[in-house]
Amino acid sequence: MKTFYRITQYVFKTYILLLTIFVISCGSRNSGSGYKSTSVSYYANKFDGKKTASGETYRHSKMTGAHKSLSFGTRVEIVNVENDKSVIITVNDRGPLKPSREFDLSQGAFKKIANLNAGIIKVKYRILK
């Protein structure tokens, strides 16, 4: 009888330990901020008025951006990590060509979070829809 009791106690403690580990691991995956980090730049002046890959006309003043693979129309929050300023853009073009960057922003969107003189900034971003 004592052996059965010890085995049952061991199984129960093992079950509780595994359950605790499972709950903690699931919680840590879901409790993240959902943000990813990258660098961004902005479109040069020569692109103003030209067609984007989606067919829209690029305008510096619009809150738009380019991404390599996100669907056109996807909304993305971009946050400058140095000053915490944010902007929401809509993807309407393909790019950037630099592998180290995830987005090229319109000048209007870039100006909302940084000075154009910065050229390239570090940001965090999350896909909204």
Torsion sign, CA atoms 48, 52, 56, 60: negative
Q: What is the pLDDT of residue 38?
A: 95
Span 117-121, average pLDDT = 94
pTM given for the model: 0.72
Per-residue pLDDT tens over the stretch 56-95: 999 999 999 999 999 999 999 999 999 999 999 999 999 9
Query: CB-based burial of residue 64 (10 Å sphere; 0-12 exposed, 13-18 middle, 19+ buried)?
Result: buried
Q: Which band of pLDDT confidence, cut at 50, 70 and 90, is reported for residue 54? A: very high
